[in-house]
Amino acid sequence: MKSYLFVTIDGGGNIPPVLGLAKRLLEKGHKVYVLTEPCLEAPVKTMGLGYFSFKKHYTRTNRKEDICKDWNAKPFEKPVFENIIFGPAQIAIEETIQVLKATPADVLVVDCLLPPVLIAGEVMDIPRVLLFHMPEYLPGPNRPPGVMGLLPGIGVLGKMRDRLLLKVFNKALNKYLPKINDIRKSYGLAPLKNLIDLLHQADRRFIQTSEAFDFPIEPAPQNVRYVGPILDDPDWVGKWEHPWPTGDIRPLVIVSLSTTFQNQSKVIQACIDALSGLEVKGLVTLGMAMEDESFLLPENVKIIKSAPHSKVFPHADLVITHGGHGTIMRALSHGLPLICLPMGRDQNDNAAKVAYYGCGIKLSKKSSPKKIGRAVEGILGNLSFTAKAQKLGNAILEDFHSERAVAELENLALNMKKKKKSTPVGVS
């Protein structure tokens, strides 16, 4: 039996894959602890995981509170850098070290929303894993940086574009390099030349998606492992009861637009209006961010606060989504085509991949109801979208059942250095 510490915060779609992996380790008989926000205390303890709370930052008690504050950010602004990743880095590292000193762990697993916390594992001299709950956003020789919704460049001009964007990406990231190096210096650690090296130096970078869905970096960095998605439903979803009579054979279209706040009420109403008058059944799941909002409904559309995708998607024919990775993975695993209306974060990249692989259509979040309606009719009237979704879904299900992440984490713990320093670096 080994011991693992997971460090995460509630960013919405990251929680099912992060806690899902923690739960699988627990089921293998290991000790698993989670350092996180107070708002996640109940789900963490319900799963049987050990719980530690951040004390000085990441102290929300209400999961609906907008922690990202990025819904109206400009294209090259990254509020998440300051609000979540680097702004509170020193506090997050200090509190992680405190937990590790009180409850030693064999492996530290860090959510990709908190990469500076990897430094805590370096200080305590234990293996450290960075967990990406979606395709990794780092650029590579054959692809541009993530979150821009770009496909890998082709030809001389395309490659030149990607190299230029790599420089822009590194410049934006290295704005926080002095801050991180000051923290490293305080623990007696060597400075980094580039902030991206923090990720490259991790023992593992787990990419919780199917390699068949991503555009992998080639050649792959040594510490990267594609471990497949976690398809678990969020802990907060309600029960599902089919609201239509069994004899209603109209296609079922699901509208599911983000757990967290992205100012999506207008987009939801546009989707509802798009389904009005079509020969379909429409089901809108609001999620925590929108559950208190009101919408105008036609006869063929119903709204519920939440529902487990694992129960709803087997009845569906099409999913309209913001492009969150979890929703896409669960839809494709059921062979469902998608219409993606990305609103930021990793959603532009995910939507671009859906369109590239022919599993659906990418539209602007500003699309009119008429345009969305035409896309619905286009997908339901073209079986190739479903066929390609089913093909990719088979690969996703194979990766989901592989349990590669658990095996990798167990091996890291087993291969942990036998001779550890009596006093960890920088800790007195």
Distance between CA atoms of residues 252 and 315, nearest Å: 7
Burial of 385 (0-12, 13-18, 19+ CB in 10 A): buried
214 and 258 inside one domain:
no
In a domain, 423, yes or no: no
pLDDT over threshold 70, residue 281: yes
Structural domain count of the chain: 2
51 and 174 inside one domain:
yes
178 and 327 inside one domain:
no
- How much is the average pLDDT of 419-423? 43
- As a whole number, the mean pLDDT across the chain is 92
155 and 262 inside one domain:
no
**Closest Cα to residue 252, out of 182, 307, 325?**
307
Convert the pLDDT of each residue in 34-58 to its tens digit: 999 999 999 999 999 999 999 999 9
In a domain, 129, yes or no: yes
38 and 177 inside one domain:
yes
Q: pTM above the 0.85 mark? A: yes
In a domain, 420, yes or no: no
Asked if 262 contacts 343 with a C-beta cutoff of 8 angstroms, the reply is yes
121 and 206 inside one domain:
yes
321 and 297 inside one domain:
yes
Q: What are phi and psi of 35, to 5 degrees?
A: -100, 120
pLDDT over threshold 50, residue 418: no
Distance between CA atoms of residues 59 and 37, nearest Å: 5
In a domain, 58, yes or no: yes
Q: What CATH number does the domain containing 319 carry?
A: 3.40.50.2000
Residue 88 is which amino acid? P
**Per-residue confidence at 103, pLDDT binned at 50, 70, 90?**
very high
Q: How confident is the model at residue 423, as a pLDDT?
A: 44
290 and 224 inside one domain:
no
Convert the pLDDT of each residue in 209-261 to its tens digit: 999 999 999 998 999 999 999 999 988 888 888 888 888 999 999 999 877 77
> Which percentage of the chain shows pLDDT scores above 70?
95
Report the 3 state secondary structure along 102-164.
HCCCCEEEEECCCHHHHHHHHHHCCCEEEEECCCCCCCECCECCCCCCCCCCCHHHHHHHHHH
222 and 80 inside one domain:
yes
In a domain, 126, yes or no: yes
**Per-residue confidence at 71, pLDDT binned at 50, 70, 90?**
low
In a domain, 427, yes or no: no
In a domain, 161, yes or no: yes
In a domain, 395, yes or no: yes
Give me the domain span that covers residue 144: 3-228+402-414
265 and 292 inside one domain:
yes
142 and 275 inside one domain:
no
- How much is the average pLDDT of 202-211? 97
128 and 219 inside one domain:
yes
User: Residues near 67 by Cβ (< 8 Å), separated by ≥ 6?
Assistant: 9, 10, 11, 58, 60, 83, 84
Q: How far apart are the first and last CA of the chain?
A: 28
34-to-7, 19, 37 alpha-carbon distances in Å = 6, 9, 9
